[in-house]
């Protein structure tokens, strides 16, 4: 299946999780093996086996772990507060419908490690910017940010580019 066909499986769900939010539901894409494989291969084309793959909770985990497995690379989870069992660092961030906190283990990557950061949606940019901050604070070097889809009206790309202009961002679907 071609990536464009896979992306057509994403559906809009109005007023979820709050009124006024148009949620992009990726579960139809995930449940279609050919579509999921197509997206995973496209993400993997941006990395090599020396790259550590980081994914943001929760849906970023799905793609990032599949990419890491396909490349034989390590996978680093970036989680919501209170979910990691070992010593971690945290960052608060704003999102389209509130404020949250992300955490990463202090020893998740070695100093200077090349990190490919994957999430499902680039919206306001707060989540991805916080993840980049965390990776850099523990010594990693984010070499590329990938998102399955981007909501351009929320200006997340611009927010990230203002703080991290050296990091390329690729989104497969922009709405």
Q: Which residues are catalytic?
A: 59, 96
Would residue 97 be called left, alpha or beta, if left means φ above 0 and alpha means ψ between -120 and 50 degrees? alpha
| Nearest Cα residue to 79 out of 107, 52, 53, 60 | 60
What's 60's DSSP letter?
H
Collapsing DSSP to helix, strand or coil, 123 comes out as coil
CB 134 within 8 A of CB 141: no
Alpha helices in the chain (DSSP H): 3-7, 27-30, 33-44, 59-71, 126-137, 156-163
What token pair was written down for 115? 């990190």
| Nearest Cα residue to 156 out of 115, 120, 121 | 121
| Nearest Cα residue to 119 out of 32, 53, 47 | 53
What's 49's DSSP letter?
T
């Amino acid at each position: 299946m071609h990536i464009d066909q896979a992306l057509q499986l994403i559906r809009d769900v109005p007023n979820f999780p709050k009124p006024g939010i148009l949620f992009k539901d990726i579960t139809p894409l995930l449940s279609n093996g050919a579509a999921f494989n197509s997206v995973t291969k496209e993400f993997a084309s941006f990395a090599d086996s020396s790259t550590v793959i980081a994914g943001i909770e929760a849906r970023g985990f799905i793609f990032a772990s599949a990419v890491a497995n396909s490349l034989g690379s390590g996978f680093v989870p970036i989680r919501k507060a209170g979910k990691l069992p070992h010593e971690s660092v945290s960052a608060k961030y704003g999102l389209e419908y509130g404020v949250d906190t992300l955490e990463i283990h202090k020893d998740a990557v070695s100093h200077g490690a090349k990190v490919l950061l994957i999430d499902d949606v680039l919206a306001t940019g707060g989540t991805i910017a916080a993840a980049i901050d965390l990776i850099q604070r523990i010594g990693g070097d984010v070499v590329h940010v990938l998102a399955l889809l981007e909501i351009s009206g929320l200006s997340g790309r611009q927010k990230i580019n203002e703080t991290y202009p050296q990091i390329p961002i690729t989104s497969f679907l922009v709405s």
